[in-house]
Structure 1
Amino acid sequence: MDKINTKHFAFLLLATGIVSLKTYPGVFMRDAGRDSWIAVTVASVLIFAFYIFIISTCKKTEVYNMREIYEKAVGKRLGDIFIALFIVNLFATLIECVSAEANSMHTNMLLETPTWYLMIFFVFPIIYTIRKEIVSIITVTVIGIILIMMAGINLGILTARYKDWSLLFPIFKDGLKFNFFVALAKILGLYGSVSITLPYLIRVRNRKSIIKHVIIALLIIIQMEIVSTTGVITTFGTVLANTMPYPKLIQTQQVSYFRFLEFGELYVMLQILGGWMLKYLISFYAMLSLLKGFGLKRKHLIWITYIVSLAAYISSYFIADNLFRLFTFFNIYSYLFLFNFIIIPLIMFTIFALKQSSSTQN
């Protein structure tokens, strides 16, 4: 079974679009400060328009093959180059997933456990699922997202009394500065993770309701990111929050009821471990799907799975072992995502849409 329906696709969107912005908001909050929630809101509108344009173009032209769209837009050779850049970005995503998961757990919860040890139990067990068919990927994703959303709702309820909403104001106290647009670019880049789902479009069957389910998924992602960002600001204020690498993990440590119920970390561990695992899994499978388009056979892809897993492990170890190096990578990574996951796909799909429109008129 290599086909999925539009509801499954919506879960893929949720699994790729949520975790980055929630785990390390300091990447953009250091630039936008108190106005970070406004930057997230503006970026949310832009990413919504971007992805709906992508899906609408596919639906209108009835072409859902990402490789075909790229090749028809700029030719086979240039199209293959841009697909290769997309694959490179997917590998960078694997490094992000492994590094963020291991370092966040080591920094906030398992201080005595080294990152290399945490990575072993993240990278290599996932190979088993990656080697299965798409049905396994979807099953794990659906179950994981349901549990993550339940944990998020519980966390929202448990942390509500610790928030001071006055910390969101005043808006633009020092005016609209360049740093706000820097933050906006970074947020868009991290939001660009939703483009990881583009290679899955060709596998979707019964596409009649695809726009409807994509809209629902995007709205869920957007509200989660806005609530998450405002939650961090209203709990700590931006000055204190910017001193924390992973403020969501610290936020949950405040939860205490009846002086002995302290279980906020349990929910956030589920969110982080589950969220990064799902994003890693979906990114890896998307990479293998695109590599298959270069003529690689199954036996080659099996060896590539092991080689890429080992390369992701080694690369992540050197990056995640140092917190400052890791956040330098996150900053670079956000711009890389903006370029390869937002700007290039937008250009490719726009050119493709214009060419198709022109050929239809002729």
Structure 2
Amino acid sequence: MNQKVISATHIYILLIISTGFIVHVLSIPMLLTASKRDAWISVIFSSIPFALWILLVFYIYKKLNKNNITINSFLKMKYSILFAVVYGLYFFINAFISLKFTIIWAKTSYAFEVPNMVIVLSFSFICLYASIKGIRTISTIAIFILPLVSLFGVLVGVGNWPNKDFELLFPIFEKGYRDSLQGVAYACSGFFEIITLFFLSPYLKDKLKMKWLLLVGLMLVVLTLGPLMGALTEFGSVEAEKMMNPAYEQWRLLSIGQVTRLDFLSIFQWLSGSFIRISLSLFIAGKLFTYKENKRWILPAFYLCLILAVSFPWDATSFFYFLKKIYFPINLLFQICSLLLFLLLIHLKGDRHEE
């Protein structure tokens, strides 16, 4: 059966929505607590290593494509089970973090009286259905979602313009450069997730292009910088730092004429991003474990574990502490190690081809 069912456009959109969820939702609170008023400077600084990262990722992609090497190459190696477990666990954790944060936000924002299990089960079953249907379904849904998500983002950014005070962005480096550099690490931890494209390339019918990957990178920077600067100019650094989700809080300020409380639109934004990220992550994890044979129980098993893990009591404060001190630093280190692993694969496979 031919697995090449999506185009490069699909991958660009999946990267924007999936990676955009972490940089737009998860990274911003971490940036504000780490760099405070200078958080927006951290994002600008991080665009330099991010651009270099994209160039390196594209270089590896080209080499892999030239030598006809895919993720399947790893799964054919001697330690294929170890590879499947490590990366399957990585994508499972990504899905867990996304769903857990979504549940915390839903309970504190609009679903106060709805039981946790109702939210978890209903959303998980929707994501499970998409994961089972496959990458083509997920990417097709993403194409329809992206224009609406982008439109709503522009709406809240432009609509809140009268509420912005850009003087609140200054002075910069008031307490030195250290906080800004720390923020760069948090920003890059999210941005560097575009290495997910290596796991999507086996389903690609055509080829990725450098200019479009750079455009994806620019959009991810804007997705981070826009709401981050919005939070700082609308609430100030002190208040913005206290917020669990500054991007959502900006919707509470938005009004168009006599129409207020437009924050329901942000629910669509958030759930759309979370849906794509969770269903895509567990689709990839499932494929890593079903390479040699079709095991239909793998995906339901992953989702059952996800439901049980998310249902475990974990208060928002300690969860945020985990994200800041453990998840984001390890996520950054893991992605750097992954890129080095792909470079090693290129070297090993390249030598064999030359022989």
User: TM-score, length-normalised on structure 2?
Assistant: 0.90
Question: More displaced, 330-339 or 3-12?
Answer: 330-339
- State the AA in 1 paired with 2:216: A
- Name the structure 1 match of 2:166: 165
Q: What is the rounded CA distance, in whole Å, between the counterparts of 1:339 and 1:355 in structure 2?
A: 23
SS of structure 1 residue aligned to 2:133:
coil
- Name the structure 2 match of 1:149: 150
- Name the structure 1 match of 2:248: 249
Percent sequence identity is 20
- State the AA in 2 paired with 1:170: P
Q: Following TM superposition, by how much is the alpha carbon of 1:202 offset from its aligned partner in structure 2, in angstroms?
A: 1.6
SS of structure 1 residue aligned to 2:253:
coil
**8 Å contact kept, 1:83–1:290:** yes
- Name the structure 2 match of 1:279: 277
**8 Å contact kept, 2:8–2:205:** yes
- 1:44–1:281 Cα change, 3 Å: farther
- Does residue 13 (structure 1) correspond to residue 15 (structure 2)? The answer is yes
Q: What is the rounded CA distance, in whole Å, between the counterparts of 1:134 and 1:228 in structure 2?
A: 29
- State the AA in 2 paired with 1:161: P
**8 Å contact kept, 2:41–2:180:** no
SS of structure 2 residue aligned to 1:256:
coil
Q: Following TM superposition, by how much is the alpha carbon of 1:2 offset from its aligned partner in structure 2, in angstroms?
A: 2.9
- 1:76–1:23 Cα change, 3 Å: same
**8 Å contact kept, 1:56–1:211:** no
Q: Following TM superposition, by how much is the alpha carbon of 1:283 offset from its aligned partner in structure 2, in angstroms?
A: 0.7
Q: What is the rounded CA distance, in whole Å, between the counterparts of 1:361 and 1:126 in structure 2?
A: 44
**8 Å contact kept, 2:84–2:288:** yes
Q: What is the rounded CA distance, in whole Å, between the counterparts of 1:118 and 1:49 in structure 2?
A: 40
**8 Å contact kept, 1:12–1:197:** no
2:319 to 315, 318, 326: 326
- Does residue 28 (structure 1) correspond to residue 27 (structure 2)? The answer is no
Q: What is the rounded CA distance, in whole Å, between the counterparts of 1:305 and 1:357 in structure 2?
A: 34
Counterparts in 2 of 1:104-183, with a 5 A limit? 104-177=105-178, 179-183=179-183
- 1:274–1:89 Cα change, 3 Å: same
SS of structure 1 residue aligned to 2:101:
helix
Q: What is the rounded CA distance, in whole Å, between the counterparts of 1:66 and 1:50 in structure 2?
A: 19
Q: What is the rounded CA distance, in whole Å, between the counterparts of 2:237 and 2:93 in structure 1?
A: 28
**8 Å contact kept, 2:54–2:214:** no
Q: What is the rounded CA distance, in whole Å, between the counterparts of 1:282 and 1:184 in structure 2?
A: 26
**8 Å contact kept, 2:283–2:299:** no
Deviation digits for residues 142-162 of structure 1 (CA, Å, limit 9, x no counterpart): 112222112111111212221
- Name the structure 2 match of 1:96: 97
Counterparts in 2 of 1:67-106, with a 5 A limit? 67-68=72-73, 76-77=78-79, 81-106=82-107
Q: What is the rounded CA distance, in whole Å, between the counterparts of 2:352 and 2:129 in structure 1?
A: 45
Q: Following TM superposition, by how much is the alpha carbon of 1:37 offset from its aligned partner in structure 2, in angstroms?
A: 0.9
Q: Following TM superposition, by how much is the alpha carbon of 1:250 offset from its aligned partner in structure 2, in angstroms?
A: 1.5
Q: Following TM superposition, by how much is the alpha carbon of 1:48 offset from its aligned partner in structure 2, in angstroms?
A: 2.9
Deviation digits for residues 20-79 of structure 1 (CA, Å, limit 9, x no counterpart): 2222422221111111111112223322321331222221342451352x589xx642x6
Number of residue pairs aligned between Structure 1 and Structure 2: 349
- State the AA in 1 paired with 2:45: V
- Does residue 313 (structure 1) correspond to residue 295 (structure 2)? The answer is no
Q: What is the rounded CA distance, in whole Å, between the counterparts of 2:30 and 2:72 in structure 1?
A: 32
Q: Following TM superposition, by how much is the alpha carbon of 1:357 offset from its aligned partner in structure 2, in angstroms?
A: 6.5
Q: What is the rounded CA distance, in whole Å, between the counterparts of 1:172 and 1:274 in structure 2?
A: 36
Q: What is the rounded CA distance, in whole Å, between the counterparts of 1:84 and 1:98 in structure 2?
A: 21
2:60 to 57, 77, 86: 57
Deviation digits for residues 217-272 of structure 1 (CA, Å, limit 9, x no counterpart): 222112221112111111111210111111122111011233x3014312211110
**8 Å contact kept, 1:22–1:228:** yes
User: TM-score, length-normalised on structure 1?
Assistant: 0.88
Q: What is the rounded CA distance, in whole Å, between the counterparts of 1:185 and 1:84 in structure 2?
A: 26
**8 Å contact kept, 1:89–1:336:** no
**8 Å contact kept, 2:290–2:298:** no
- Name the structure 1 match of 2:205: 205
Q: What is the aligned-residue RMSD (CA, Å)?
A: 2.3
- State the AA in 2 paired with 1:230: M
- Does residue 2 (structure 1) correspond to residue 7 (structure 2)? The answer is no
- State the AA in 2 paired with 1:184: V
- State the AA in 1 paired with 2:59: S
Q: What is the rounded CA distance, in whole Å, between the counterparts of 2:354 and 2:70 in structure 1?
A: 23
Query: Structure 1 unaligned runs (5+)?
Result: none
- State the AA in 2 paired with 1:333: Y
- State the AA in 2 paired with 1:306: P
